[in-house]
Structures are given as C-alpha cells and as structure tokens.
Structure 1
Amino acid sequence: MQKRNQHNTLLYSFLLVVMLCFSARAQTATYCDSLIKKAKEATHAKDYVKSLELLATARDLAEKNRWNKQLFWSINYAGINYIYMMDYGEALNYCLEAYNLSVKELGPEFEMIMLNNIAIIYTADKNYKKAKEYYQKAYDTAKEEKFKSLGIYLINLGNMENILNNPKQAKLYMQEAMPNLKKHWPRSIVAAEMIVAEADLLLGNTALARQSATELLKQKADVAYNDIAIPLSEIIAKSYLKEGDFANASATVNELLNASSNLETKRRLYELLADIYSKSGAITDALRFKDSIIVADTQLHEIKNGRLFENNRVKFEMQNYKNQMAAEEELIALERKIVYSLLAVIIAAVTVTILILRQKKLIAERNQRITSLELEKEKRDNLILEKQYRENETTSQLEQERLKNEIEARNRKLSARALYLSDRNQLIEDIVTSLAKKPKLSKDLTLSSQIKTLKEHLRTDGEWDNFITHFEEVNHGFLMRLKNLHPTLTQNDTRFLAYIYMNLSVKEIASILNITIEACRKRKDRMAAKMELPENLALYDYISSI
C-alpha cells in the first residue's frame, strides 16, 4: 500500500509539471506573436529602436522554442526596419538569413516573400540586374506554385525591364499579368498599364504613351493607392521632350517640381529639366539645374550621413538592450536552477525509494536503456555538427557575394562620377567654343572674363588622380598587377583599361574620353594587340580575371 502511494505521488507530480509546461508554451507562443505585431506598429510609427527591441525579444523566444514561423517574421521585419533606415547592407543580411530559414524549414510561400524583399533592396540600391534576378526567382516560384500574387511579381519584372531598356519584354509581362490582376488585384491594374505606357515611350510611340498616361491619371483613387501620380506625369513630360515640344515638357516638369517635397524625386526632376533646357538651347537654365542637381546630391548625402548616425545609435541601443536581456536571463536562469534543484531533490528522493524496492533485473534494463540513449545522443550530436558545417559553408558563400556586390556598387558610383564630370566639361567646352567663334564678342572685356571663368571650371588631370585614388581603394592592387603583367602600358592605356575593368560600355567610355565610339572600339582592339591577347579572348574577360 505504501509502495503504491509513493508511485502515485511521483506520477501526479510528473503530470502537473507536464501540464504547466504545455500551458506556458501556449501562452509564450501567443505572447511571441503579440510582440511581432507591436513591432510592426512601431515600424509604421518610425520608432525603429522600439521595433527592433521587440523583434529581438520575439526572436529569442522563437529560437528557444523552435517556432520557425515566428522566427521567420521576427528576422524579416528586422530587415524591413533597416530598409526604412536605408542601411541596405544590414537589411540584406537579415533578408538572406530569413531566406535560408524559409528554404530549409517553411516552404516556397515564405521563400517567395524573401526573394521579393531582396529584390526590393537591390532596386533601392540601384543594382537593377541583381534586382531583376531575384524578381525573376520570385515570379518563377509564384508561377510554379500557382500563387495568386503572380500578377504583382510580373509588374515588378515589367518595371525592371523598362529600367533596363527592354520595353518589348515589359509589355509581354503585362499581357501575362492582366488576367491575374483582374481576378485578384484589380486596384493594381493601373500600375500595369503605366508600365505599358512607359514601354510605348521607350519604343518611340510618344503620342500613345502620353494619351495612356493622361487617361490613367483620371483614375485618381487607384493612382493614389499605387502612388504612381508622379511617374505618370514624368511619362507625359518625356513624351513632349522626345517630340521636341520643350515648352510643354518644361511646364509639366515644373508643375511636378512645385508639387513635390521628396528630395530624391526633385533630383530626378532637376535632371529632366537640365536635359530639356540643354536640348532646347537654353544653356543658362540647363547650367542652373545642373547646379541644383549638385545641391540635391549634397543634401541627400547629408541626409544619408544622418541616417548612418541614426543607424549606429539604434545598433548601440540594441546592444544595450541585449545586455539587459542577458542580465535578466541570468537572473531567470538562477531562479529556474533553484526550482529545478528543489524538484530534482524531491524526484531523487522518490526515485531512490522506488529503486531500492525494484529488482536487479530492472536495474540491468535501465542501464541498457541509458547506454542506448547515450549512443542515440552521440549520433544526434554528430548530425548537428554536420549541419553546422554546411551552414557555415553557406554563410561564407553569401559573405563573398555581399563583398562582390559592394565592390560592384562602388565601381558604379565611380563610373557615374566620371560620366557626370565628362558631361559637365563637355557642356562648358561647347559653350566656350561657341562664344570663341564670334570675333565681336572677344572685344567685350566683361564677356571675355566670363569665358575665362568658364574655362577654369574645366577639370584637369587632377580629376584623373582623384579617380585613381578612389579606384585603388575599391579595386585594391589591380593597377599594380596590370603594370607588372604589362610594363609597356602608358598612363593613358591604364586609364582606358580601368574604365573597361569597371564594365563601362563603349559609348560611356567614348563620352568620358571625348572621342568617337568607333575610335573607342579601335582602341580596344589596339589594347588587345598590345597586350598580346589571343583572338578568342575578350579584353574585359582578361582584365577582370587579373
């Protein structure tokens, strides 16, 4: 009788502990979801520090309890916070982490979400080829799994094809998207039709593009829902520009400029106005808006620096928050240890009593079972180590890709700077040449002084020195390796090969060096001959492998 009572006491204690554990698990899962919801609300309120703190807590709970969906959303929304803060490198790290989790644990629906988010990051960073690659993956997944979001991903792909100047392909994507949009996303049809109008503009159908954009602007509710009013008006302005109707083009852009408060949008409109005035012969106005572009770039740079400081402050506060969490976890662990110790003492006392009454056969069976469990644990540990090795290898590959993307991004900035300086110098040089051809004007001392001032704005070889300095910072050791392999190369040869290494087109290089495109092509052939390259080996392929 006494033996049965002891056995029942142990059984009831065990059942009570199990019930408490299941209750705590259910409450904790609900609590984790509520943390993620509050974090989303904080993000919408632009309180990124609070949002990241809530997501860090939710992630900790999800990792401890192996709740893959909660873990996915906590990582994903952390990445979205960094997108809003324009820290694209940090955002990409979070997105890649969530993507790996979706591939391993959650399936194609979650994988597709992260592919789209990664594409958004590359689009924001103006790495359009990479963005298209990930939009294509998201579209392929949606099409294979027959998800209703297929039309949205087709819109993204169509927009990317227009950016990459492939309007025919963009229109094909929109034809494919329309049935899906009409069925599932009717309010997004105007976005698809805008992409078709932009494709028509690129194809030279200016009147059709302008008519389509004008009609779409009348659908005010859907236009506002998709936030495409300004892009539609830009299509109208560009159609006038292509037709040589500079008055209507400038009037449309100026109206947009007065209505817009976004600095990046204004910069884009300044570029369009500078192009309009330059082509219409209004050189003074063109220069004025070129200067406005420089001012906008400076302001954007200052804003980005401010964002960088804010990001660092957020990271600092997040680290403090993690330290506080670690301290609290230590305290909880200590309290848990005391509870477990008391529970262990009780269980040990009951167990010892039962073991004394058990027969030696049961002891032998228990020892055999323990040995079996130890072997199983060792096998499981080996599997975990193997999985960790594979994950580390994947992480290393992702880091290499991130570094490669960073170098490509910096080279794009260098090429953009070089092209801008070339355009600016060419504009000033054209003005000086035009004025110099008028003998009567040379007698005007005031005008001669102004021409001299314009000449002083032309850049010298010092710009090349600055370019080389920045180029070496991004592509460390490339020029030295090139000179070691081909010591006969001149400074001009090195400069030309640097532009080739940055993957600039023949047209872009010709613009920078102020030579014809044909002369640029011939110079590429001379460089290949001078470096004694095989006929079947392209110059870019060779120097990119150095």
Structure 2
Amino acid sequence: MKVYHFFLTVFLVLTSFSLWGQQKTQADVIQQIDLGIEAMGNNEHLTSIEMLFSAKETALQHEWYLQAFNATLNIGTNYYMMLDYGEALQYYLQAYEIAIDQLGPKQKKVVYNNIGVLYIGENDTVKAEEYFLKAYAISKEMDEHEEIGACAVNLALLANQMGKLDLASAYLEEAAPLLKKKKNVILLAKIAKVENLLLQGHLAEAEKLALQTLPQLDNLSIVAHGATVNSKITLLLTLSDIYKEKSDYVLARKYALKAREQQSNIEGRKQIYESLSNLYTTRNDLLPAAMAYKDSMLMASDSLNAIKNGALFESEKVKFQMQDYKHQLVESKKALVEEKAFYTKLIIGVILIMGFLVWLYKNNALKHKQRKKIVELELDKEKNNRLLVEKQRQKKEALALLEKERLKNELERKNRELTAKAMFQASKNELIEDVVHSLSSNTQIATDSRLKTHIHDLKTHLKKDTQWDSFFIHFEELNRGFINRLMAKHPKLTSNDIRFLTFIYMNLSYKEISSLLNITVQSCRKRKERISKKMNVPQNTSLQAYLSAI
C-alpha cells in the first residue's frame, strides 16, 4: 500500500508543477493551508507537507506573512508527528523568524508553545519549561486572560512531571478563574489537578475529582475527539495510580485495562502494559498475567522502534521530494518555455527513482523481517535463560533451607544428648550425696577414721562441681559464642544465672531444670521471673525467644 501511495503522491507533485504558473489569491492560499492541516490530521504527512510548502512559497512571493507563518509552523508540526524532531525544530525556527521580522508577539507565543511540546517529546523538561515560560510571559504582556490560563495549565502539567508540586498548584490556582470558554483547557486543568493531588498524597481528593471529571471526557461535543481520547487515557491511568497507592489493586487493574481499551498508539500502550505488569505482580496467582503484560510491553517496544524507524525513513523520503520540488520550482521560473521537455525528463527520472525505491523498499522489508525474526528468537532465548536461572535459584534456596533445618535438628539432638548427660551426672551426684549422708549419720562409721576420710573426699569431689565445667565446655562447642554474647550484652549476670539461662536456651521444661539444679519447680519459675526483670526482657517476648535472638 505504501508503494501505491507513493505513486499517487508523485502524480500529485507533477500536477502541482503544471499548475504553478496560475495566479493564486490570498483566499486560495488560506484554503490550501486548511487542506494541508486536514491532511496532517489524517496522517497523510507527505500530501500535507506538499500543500503547505506550496502555500508557503506563494505566500512569501506575495508577502502574505501570516499565511507563510501558518504554513511553515504546520510543516514543522508534520515533522514532529513523524518523529523527526530535528527537522521540526528547523521549521519552527523559520516560523519564529517570520514572526519576529514581520508579525507580532502572538505568533511568537505560538512558536514557543510548539517548541516546548517538541522538547517534551525529547524528554528535555528543562528546555520545555524554558519555552513554556516564554509563551507565558508573552501572554502576560498581552494581558490575554484565557491564553494566560492555557499557558499556566501547560506549566502545571510540566511542573507535575518535574516534581515541582507546589509550583504546579500555584499555576492551577492562577489558571482556574481565567478559563471560561476553553472547555478542553478546563478539562486539562482538572486532570493536572488530579495528578497534583495524587503526587502530594491527597488520595481521597484526587479520587473524587477524577471520578467527577471522567464522565465529562465522554462528551465529544465539549472537546475534539483526539483530545478527548488522550485526556481520558491520562485520567484513567491516573485513577489506576490512585487505587494502586490505596492498595486497591482490583480497581487499579480495572482502570488500567480501560486505558488499554482506549489507547491505539503503540507508545502509549507500552506505558500501559508496564503499569499492568506491575499491578499483576501483587498476587502470586496473577504472576502469569504479569509476565504476559511484560512480554506485551517488550513487543510494544519492538513495534515502536520499528514504527519510529519507518517514520524516519518516510521523513527522509519527504525531505528528498521537497528538495526535488524546490529545485523544480526554480527551474520552472527560469524556463517555462521548456516545460514539456522538462517534465518528460522528470517523469523518466521519477520512474527510475521509483523503481529504485520499490527495490529498496522490498529489500528493506526483507531485512526488517529477518531482523525481527532474530530479535524474537533472542527474546525467546533470554526468556528461557531467565526461567532456567530462576529454577536454579529456587533449587539452591530449597537446598539451603534443608541444610539449615538439618543443622538445626542436629544441634537440638546434641543439646538433648548434653542435657541427658547432665541429668545423668546430676542424678549420680544426688545418689552419692544420699550415700554420703546415710554413711555420715551411721554412728558405727562415724568412729572409723579411715571411712570418715573417704566420706570427706567424696564431699570434696561433689563441691568441685566438675560436671558443670564439663557441661559448659560441651555446650559452648555446640552453641559457639552464645555465652560470650550473653555476658557481653548482660555483664551483671552471675554464673548461676548463666547456668539457668543455658537450660532455658535449650528449651528444657521447669521439671527438667529443677531436677538438674536440685530445686523446686516453683523456684524455677521465680528465678526465671527474676532474671527476666534483671535483663529487661520485654513483657510480650518470651525469655527463650529473647535468648534465641542473641
């Protein structure tokens, strides 16, 4: 279809050449500019640029500078829509020169606004703000209230984007009383206010204003259709962000999906797919959908790059045709008598060029198809690699958890063995103490000095408490550094306190601890309360949990 469109365009160029010699009135030029703007609105950029360029040349010949300005400005807008920002800026600067030399501040303001929009497309917010401020200053000087309000709304939207929220609020307050007839600008001001409230964290106010404004964007009689669609998408995405901040992910996804239904532009869909991908990661059962939207975002990026490349190619073709057109205009002015021979040669040249361009188009299309296939294969490979890495990571985490659990069970087993050993030692010492006590109370043995010596040795052995030294050596081997960390954190603890705390750390019951320490269960409870207060353990935390965290 693009090749046929090109043939038709060349025919139109040749037709325009044959009519060049005819006189045109100022009304004809105005009508031609209007037709060029209409073609631009239908995305017929080559046709639009041809009409506007012809109108510009005629207007400059007759010194109709307002028409020359409008044609030049709209040629720049065509290139902006074709994503060729460098060429767009050149024509905006040409329009600016006409405004400076021949017109007035009103036209200068229009150029400044267009350049500001151009820098937003380039994501250069600093430059965009500079030119919007120039347009705003001119509106102030001219004292045009509605124009001041419109410029303030532009600055407010940009300030929101730059994070200058207080400045944005000030611009919106200034604009509110100035906007009366410009319904579309009033709606843009409301959308800017919603964004500002959201960014400032006033979610309830932002939600209320957004829901009030949304139905107004469905009324196509208020604003132009294109503006309605773009504004509605912006508001739907802002509502989605509001509900995301309120953790109402169901409504957030609902409005993001509504925005997707409205958006046909690939670049806009890329942003929506990214938002949906983030929203669908809030629940595990929605992760497949999140991955799907992530893939959609990647595909949209690829499609957008392809579209931009195609747009730049189309722009280069337009530049070539315009250069050729200007050359033919000059030649026509010099030698109208040779018109027939000239067009014969031109047609032959154009046919050759078209044949070359058809070949170039098919060749580029084939290369693009191959590149696209390679990119798709690379994306599939990258996706598979990510899945493999993720599985390996999950496997490692599972093995680490199993190893941690094994070590924990091993430590608990060894601590239990240590406890059993300590209890056995304690029961053995308790038995020796009973025997010593029984022998000491026997009057026959009391008179035997040799037996008394042995009983005394037994008592001395029990007082040395060597079993506890052995117990703590084994405990420190199993729980490295615990006692040192405990003493460093609570230096006021006594050796008896530390001994008691090791049993609590090993999760022994009161009955087991009382048996090891040869005290009553009630005494265990009281000792635990006393030590907890001494260590300032929080009331809502158990002593065992507190010790485990050390």
Deviations 1:72-107 (A, max 9, x none): 122112111112222111101100121122123211
- Cα 1:428/1:104, change in 2 over 3 Å: farther
Distance 2:46 2:332 in 1: 19
Are the equivalent residues in 2 in contact too, given 1:162–1:170 (CA < 8 A)? yes
Distance 2:58 2:106 in 1: 23
The partner residue of 1:437 within 384, 397, 418 is 397
Identify the residue that residue 102 of structure 1 maps to in structure 2. 99
Q: Mean Cα displacement is larger for which, 315-324 or 301-310?
A: 315-324
Shift in Å, 1:54: 2.5
The whole-number CA distance in structure 1 between the counterparts of 2:24 and 2:301 is 51
- The alignment of Structure 1 onto Structure 2 pairs a total of residues equal to 330
Counterpart mapping for 1:111-510 below 5 A: 111-147=108-144, 148-182=146-180, 184-219=181-216, 220-221=218-219, 222=222, 226-227=227-228, 228-280=231-283, 283-332=287-336, 436-439=396-399
Q: Report the Cα distance in structure 2 between the residues aligned to 1:442 and 1:320, rounded to whole angstroms.
A: 76
1:68 & 1:232 partners in 2: Cα distance?
40
Instruction: Check whether the contact 2:109–2:139 (CA below 8 A) recurs between aligned residues.
Output: yes
SS of 1:438's equivalent in the other structure is helix
Equivalent position of 2:514 in the other structure: none
User: Which residue matches 1:76?
Assistant: 73
Report the CA distance shift for 1:288/1:89 in structure 2 as closer, same or farther (over 3 A): same
> Are the aligned partners of 1:216 and 1:223 in contact in 2 as well (CA < 8 Å)?
no
User: What are the residue-to-residue correspondences of 1:56-67 with 2, within 5 Å?
Assistant: 56-67=53-64
Shift, 1:120, TM fit? 1.3
Conserved 8 A contact 1:223-1:229: no
Shift, 1:171, TM fit: 1.7
For the 8 Å contact 1:43–1:51, the answer to whether it is kept is yes
Once the two structures are superposed, residues 199-240 of structure 1 have per-residue CA deviations (whole angstroms, 9 ceiling, x without a partner) of 111111122211211111122314775421111111211111
Unaligned runs of 5+ in 2: 1-20, 340-384, 404-550
Structure 1 residue 442: Cα displacement: 8.8
Q: Relative to 1, partners in 2 of residues 1:96 and 1:327: Cα closer, same or farther, differing over 3 Å? A: same
Deviations along 1:430-449, one digit per CA (max 9) or x if unpaired, are 99766633338999xxxxxx
Q: Distance in 2 between matches of 1:268 and 1:35?
A: 37
- Which one-letter code corresponds to 1:188 in the other structure? V
What SS does the aligned partner of 1:46 have? Answer: coil
Match of 1:537 in 2: none
Task: Output one character per residue of 1:91-126: Cα deviation in whole Å (capped at 9) or x when no partner.
Answer: 011001211221232111010010011111112222
Q: 1:30 to 1:128 in 2, by over 3 A?
A: same
Distance 1:223 1:428 in 2: 52
Change in 2 beyond 3 A, CA 1:94/1:288: same
Which residue of 2 is the match for residue 402 of structure 1? none
Instruction: Report if the CA contact (8 A) 2:233-2:262 is conserved.
Output: no
2:36 equivalent to 1:39: yes
Change (3 A) 1:310 1:26: closer
Task: Indicate if the aligned counterparts of 2:240 and 2:255 stay in contact, CA closer than 8 A.
Answer: yes
- SS of the residue aligned with 2:140? helix
Once the two structures are superposed, residues 272-330 of structure 1 have per-residue CA deviations (whole angstroms, 9 ceiling, x without a partner) of 12222345555554443332221110000111111112112222222332233223211
Contact kept, 8 Å, 2:113 with 2:131, in 1: the verdict is yes
Name the CA distance, whole Å, in 2 between partners of 1:214 and 1:31: 47
3-state DSSP of counterpart to 2:83:
coil
**Compared CA separation, residues 52 and 122, structure 1 to 2 (3 A):** same
Q: Contact 1:435–1:441 (CA<8 Å) still a contact in 2? A: no
Question: Structure 1 residue 90 and structure 2 residue 50: aligned?
Answer: no
**Alignment CA distance shift 1:98-1:46 (3 Å):** same
Q: Which amino acid aligns with 1:112?
A: K
2:56–2:71 contact (8 Å) kept in structure 1: yes
Aligned partner letter, 2:265: N
Q: Alignment partner of 2:123: what SS?
A: coil
Aligned partners of 2:260 and 2:269 also within 8 Å = yes
Unaligned runs of 5+ in 1: 1-23, 336-424, 444-546
User: What do residues 239-297 of structure 1 show as CA deviations (whole Å, max 9, x unaligned)?
Assistant: 11112222222232223324433222211111112222345555554443332221110
Hey, what does 1:470 align to over in structure 2?
A: none
Distance 2:55 2:168 in 1: 41
The alpha carbon displacement at 1:25 in A equals 13
Superposition misfits of 4+ residues, deviation over 6 angstroms? 425-432, 440-443
Give 3-state SS (helix, strand or coil) of 1:218's partner: helix
Contact 2:187–2:213 (8 Å) recurs in 1: yes
Instruction: In structure 2, give the amino acid aligned to 1:302.
Output: A
Give, as a single letter, the amino acid of the residue that structure 2 aligns with 1:81.
N
Code of the residue aligned with 2:280 in structure 1: it is Y
Matched-pair contact (CA < 8 Å) for 2:156–2:167? yes
**Structure 1 letter corresponding to 2:151:** Y
